[in-house]
Amino acid sequence: MNKDITLVILAAGMGSRFGGLKQIEPMGPNGEFIIDYSIYDALQAGFNKVVFLIKEENYEIFKETIGARVEPHIKVEYAFQKNDNVPLYYEELKERQKPLGTAHAILCCQDKVQEPFMIINADDFYGRDAFQKGAEFLKKMDTKKIPHEYGMVGYLVKNTITENGAVKRGVCNVENGFLTKLVESSVGRVEDGTIMATPLDESLEKFEVAEDDTVSMNMLLFDPSIFGYIQDKFPLFLEKNKEKLEKCEFLIPDVLFESIDENMATCEVIPTTATWYGVTYKEDAPAVRESIKKLVRTEEDGEGDYPLHLWEK
């Protein structure tokens, strides 16, 4: 009997730098979105449910586009990132327009997920190998073990950067296969070809990153125990940031490291050789389309990871 594993796609953000709702920008030869390829790869790897975490006002457009395509192939659920789950004494947050961050996004999915799950960003093309490695980890996960066995699919930094500007990446320290440190940074090549990371924490200095160093693409693996942990940490986060409630973000890497520091969980790093493609900047779109085109099978050569018409039965 196959183990139930779920893919949670974080799609509540708007692509401000790209200039629109980039999650539904056609990228494949027949109008496929990046999300289409993620779900297709997840299906091939053995995932049997997908949960879209979206803004409620985008429900119809998701349902009519990507939802209509994939619902015949995999169980689909929708969750909404809303601020109606904030503690009563932070009522003003219910009027905040900006999402509260990725940890809050995951918390908003708790009623839809009762099995081991992997989170991804909607607008990142992760590659077949990454989904296969993630699925293998989830299928072997012992959900009763303490500390809990969480995971992260780790990418080579050289496989995750764009020529059009710096990108946000979590630069990782890995010891004996486990994550020990992650520095959220703006990462990109400089004029001499080296890769530099500028930490988002302004108290930290810039540092050079080797091409084969590990970075996080927010491809994280959890069991449902993470929901209770996030729920416990949420009011503590809000209290700590009560002077900047309009701007603060409750982020899953921060929560993950708290769980590690408190011996509640470990985070195994699962290496992948996959190459990331994404539309961080509008100028990235042509290159992403061309890269995907090269992975699509044609009638002439019959080779490639994806059929020409992705969702044909």
Domains and CATH numbers, the chain: 6-294 (3.90.550.10)
Q: Which residue has the higher pLDDT, 84 or 269?
A: 269
Sequence-distant (≥ 6) Cβ neighbours of residue 124 within 8 angstroms: 34, 38, 217, 218, 276, 277, 278
Confidence of residue 206 (pLDDT cuts 50, 70, 90): very high
Give the Cα separation of 194 and 203 in Å (integer): 22
State the pTM of this model: 0.92
Q: Which of 149, 279, 169 is nearest to 213 (CA)?
A: 169
Angle (CA) 75 30 299, round 5° = 105
Model confidence at 99: pLDDT above 60:
yes
pLDDT band at 66; cut points 50, 70, 90:
confident
Nearest-10 crossing angle of helices 34-45, 128-140: 40
- Residue 228: how many CB atoms within 10 A of its CB? 11
Contacts of 48 (CB under 8 A, 6+ apart): 2, 4, 5, 6, 74, 75
pLDDT tens-digit map of 226-243: 999 999 999 999 999 988
Taking only the tens place, the pLDDT of each residue in 258-291 is: 999 999 999 999 999 999 998 888 888 899 999 9
